[in-house]
Amino acid sequence: MSNYYIKNLEEYFQIYRKSVREPENFWEEIAEEHFVWRKRWTNVMRWDFSKPEVAWFENAKLNITENCIDRHLHIRGDKTAILFEPNDPAEKAQHISYNQLHERVCKMANVLKEKGVEKGDRVCIYLPMIPELAISVLACARIGAIHSVVFAGFSSLALATRINDCDCKMVITSDGSYRGTKTIDLKGIVDQSLETCPGIKSVLVVKRTGASIVMEKGRDQWLQPLLDKASSKNKAEIMDAEDPLFILYTSGSTGKPKGMVHSSAGYMVFTAYTFKNIFNYQEDDVYWCTADIGWITGHSYIVYGPLANGATTVMFEGIPTYPDHGRFWEVVEKHKVTQFYTAPTAIRALAKENLSFVDKYDLSSLKVLGTVGEPINEEAWHWYNNNIGKNKSPIVDTWWQTETGGIMISPIPFVTPTTPTFATLPFIGVQLALMDERGQELMGKQVEGRLCIKYPWPSMARTIWGDHKRYYDTYFSAFENMYFTGDGAKRDAVGYYRITGRVDDVIIVSGHNLGTAPIEDAINEHPAVAESAIVGFPHDVKGNALYGFVILKEIGESRKPENLRKEINQQITEHIGPIAKLDKIQFVPGLPKTRSGKIMRRILRKIASKETDNLGDISTLLNPEVVKAIIKDAL
């Protein structure tokens, strides 16, 4: 395991250079040294972005669950693999050891087989953050079924679309789920979906809330009695390196969701290697990623990456605000969490609250902090750094996507000096490019352009389920021989990358390209502002003008709106210039967000342009009710 950690910046550059000059040798060594294979590959990598076609570790045979579970049993069988922290702090946490995880995954795999699920079949998993979610994912992987996890906050319509798009045969769900003080009727949502899903032959139901539900005869069964009867021995299916491991849907800017397809071997190698180095995971650490397994962050950095490293990974069922705003920090203290990985939106929400929610708890176990999902603004970064990390835990600002499978840009903790709002340097093996609008690569330092990746990496998605052309069109058609991320980025004088946001978030005002992110950063620095979002709306003279939606902190709410508006524009003038001043500023109670915390600017754009008749499906939002409130007071 000697070369598994990156020790200093010089070594990072040395390894990076090797990974770029001899990518095949580099990844072959990682694959050889750190994983168990049933059969070795015949070819490390093959690629053609014009199709696009990418294969890693061709003809190798493996099962990812043997790497995530079986091989740990003789060295750390009694170590906690999954540490389950329930929604209600009064309910006991569960420590599931690697031995127990093995037994539970094998039983579940046998239940799936008995129910007729075969290698290559699609299984939809619609579960809350309970151990059965991770176990179902792993059980699918064990028998070679392709899992399609749908976040259990999605509506019945969104669920049905995803079930039908990839022809799932089975749904695994629960009677209900907990969210703070509320319970949600998950099974009822599934029942409604299945009215339009003829392909579903069976539904397995985990008992969680004990709510009374309807079981459809011949289709629905409680899971536990089936598990009780199942054998705890299961021989893992031997999979090809390029066999699909899972499908995960990600919303497109328009139209139906894209089912990103991930492979087995490349995905495993990259998620495991990034996990170890980016979180500096050590054997006795307790790692906690607060994402939901319904997102790629949960797939790669709650389940596969950590387990492939024999880590203890926390699964948290609850929410950051229940029973109060100290919940995250209470869990950190209780389980002596060493790595904590969360989203900027959660940080900003908690930073609004009184510091006593933080100071009540002993956070001295923390060694590394992480963020993911959106650009982190300076203010939130400093709050996280000062109050959670106590200025001693490096913050890894990790940039990546559902499509990339694993982290692509990130500091290496204790190695890469961090700068707030910069994701810093490309990870090992990741070859970035910034492109201008005409398709020319921007060379050198201090440039800004569209962020592309010019060489394959092991965990890249292989296709969009059922629509390879859309895969090509979306990611490979904009720039020849490049994967286009859809994001814009800057490279500074030392070569650090700062993600400026989606390029579709650029607004052209009087012929000037204005990114929404820097304007929002400027606004957010106003002491009365908690969060903001900027969109463009049609303007006779300027082409577009700027409309700001601003959430105030409590201290702002007692102040005169007119004064605040002036001060906010003053702030923008100072930071960016008068060109970026807002024509309209609306104070709002919240912003429409996706479940992973991304602001849905599409909806705000429509509100700003007074086109609120057709907002599309807003049921997948975290907070659909806020949309009504914003429309009511729109300027």
Contact residues for ligand 7RM, defined by CB under 6 A: 250, 296-297, 372-375, 397-402, 423, 485-487, 499, 502, 596
Do the beta carbons of residue 569 and residue 516 sit within 8 Å? no
Q: Between residues 132 and 397, which has the closer beta carbon with respect to ligand 7RM?
A: 397
In the complex with ligand 7RM, the residue whose CB is nearer, 165 or 403, is: 403
| 3-class secondary structure, 498 | strand
What is the Cα–Cα distance from 236 to 66, expressed in whole angstroms?
A: 7
Longest distance between any two alpha carbons in the chain, whole Å: 72
> What residues pair up with 585 in beta bridges, in sequence order?
548
Closest distance to ligand 7RM from the beta carbon of 381 (Å):
11
- Phi and psi at residue 527, to the nearest 5°: -60, -20
Smallest CA-to-CA distance from 346 within 398, 306, 313, 383 is with: 383
Distance CA 37, CA 90 (A): 43
Minimum separation from the CB atom of position 434 to ligand 7RM (A): 15
Q: Choose between 306 and 486: whose C-beta lies nearer to ligand 7RM.
A: 486
Which residue's C-beta sits nearest to ligand 7RM?
402
Measured CA to CA, the distance from residue 9 to residue 44 in angstroms comes to 27
Measured between alpha carbons, how far is 508 from 546 in angstroms, rounded to an integer? 9
Residue 419 C-beta: closest distance to ligand 7RM, Å: 13
Q: Give me the sheet containing 368-372, strands edge to edge.
A: 94-97, 80-85, 312-316, 286-289, 339-342, 368-372, 395-398
- Residue 67 or 596: the one with the smaller Cβ distance to ligand 7RM is 596
Least distance in Å: CB of 586 to ligand 7RM?
24
Q: Of the two residues 65 and 161, which places its CB atom closer to ligand 7RM in the complex?
A: 161
The residue among 131 and 592 lying less far from ligand 7RM, judged by its C-beta, is 592
Cα–Cα distance for residue pair 507/343, rounded to 1 Å: 25
Comparing CB distances to ligand 7RM, the nearer of 177 and 398 is 398
- Residue among 233, 68, 209 at smallest CA distance from 137: 68
How far apart (Å, rounded) are the C-alpha atoms in residues 160 and 386?
Answer: 44
- In the complex, least distance from residue 148 CB atom to ligand 7RM, rounded to whole angstroms: 16
CB of 267 to ligand 7RM, least distance (A): 14
CA dihedral 492, 497, 502, 503 (to 10 degrees): 40
Shortest CB 558 distance to ligand 7RM, Å: 33
Do you know the residue count of the chain?
A: 635
Nearer of residues 203 and 503 to ligand 7RM, judged by Cβ: 503
Closest distance between ligand 7RM and the C-beta of residue 559, in Å?
A: 31
Distances (CA, A) of 235 to 17, 105, 621, 629: 40, 11, 41, 55
Closer Cβ to ligand 7RM, 257 or 556, answer by number: 257
Nearer of residues 312 and 596 to ligand 7RM, judged by Cβ: 596
Give the residue with the Cβ less far from ligand 7RM, 18 or 595: 595
> Which is nearer to ligand 7RM, 80 or 280 (by Cβ)?
280
For ligand 7RM, give the closer residue by CB, 250 or 573.
250
Sign of the torsion angle spanned by Cα atoms 103, 108, 111, 112: negative
| Token representation of residue 632 | 């009511």
Cβ proximity to ligand 7RM, 131 vs 373, nearer residue = 373
Q: Quick one: 266 or 373, whose CB is closer to ligand 7RM?
A: 373
Query: What are the backbone dihedrals phi and psi of residue 369, each rounded to the nearest 5 degrees, phi first?
Result: -110, 150
CA 490 to chain centre: 22
Three-state DSSP at 316 gives strand
As measured in angstroms, the least distance from the Cβ of 402 to ligand 7RM is 3
Q: How far is the CB of 336 from ligand 7RM (least distance, A)?
A: 26
d(C-alpha 121, C-alpha 144), whole Å: 8
The residue type found at 414 is F
Which of these, 436, 434, 411, 433, lies nearest to 422 by C-alpha position? 411
Minimal distance, residue 496 CB to ligand 7RM, in Å: 13
In the complex, what is the shortest distance from the CB of residue 375 to ligand 7RM, in angstroms, rounded to a whole number?
4
Instruction: Tell me the Ramachandran region of residue 255: left when phi exceeds 0, alpha when psi lies from -120 to 50, beta otherwise.
Output: left
Minimal distance, residue 436 CB to ligand 7RM, in Å: 19
Cis peptide before 323 (omega within 30 of 0): yes
Helical ranges in 89-219 per DSSP H: 98-114, 131-143, 156-165, 186-194
Which residue spans within 28-119 are E strands per DSSP?
43-48, 53-58, 61-62, 80-85, 94-97
| Tally: H helices and E strands in the chain | 22, 30
- DSSP 8-state secondary structure symbol assigned to residue 385: I
CB of 407 to ligand 7RM, least distance (A): 8
Cα–Cα distance measured from residue 425 to residue 549, given in angstroms and rounded to the nearest whole number = 32
